[in-house]
Amino acid sequence: MSAEVERLPLGARRKGARPVGMQEMGPNLYEKIQSALTELSLVSSHERLSGT
């Protein structure tokens, strides 16, 4: 466990919540991706409901 943590960059250890790749891309882009995924899931579930 501790060995895994040691390999991570300082930023990843500080934030903790975000994956390392997302951290490198920047918080703004990460937020945009999250909202886009949320919208997509909402739309797809709505389509499934109306499709049946």
**Contact call for residues 29 and 21 (beta carbons, < 8 A):** no
Give per-residue pLDDT as tens, 17-44.
Answer: 555 555 566 778 888 889 999 998 988 8
pLDDT value at residue 38:
92
Domain, as residue range, for 20: 2-51
Number of domains, the chain: 1
Task: Tell me which residue of 42, 47, 18 sits closest to 30, measured CA to CA.
Answer: 18
Please tell me whether residue 16 adopts helix, strand or coil conformation: coil
Please tell me the pTM assigned to this model: 0.38
Radius of gyration of the chain (CA): 17
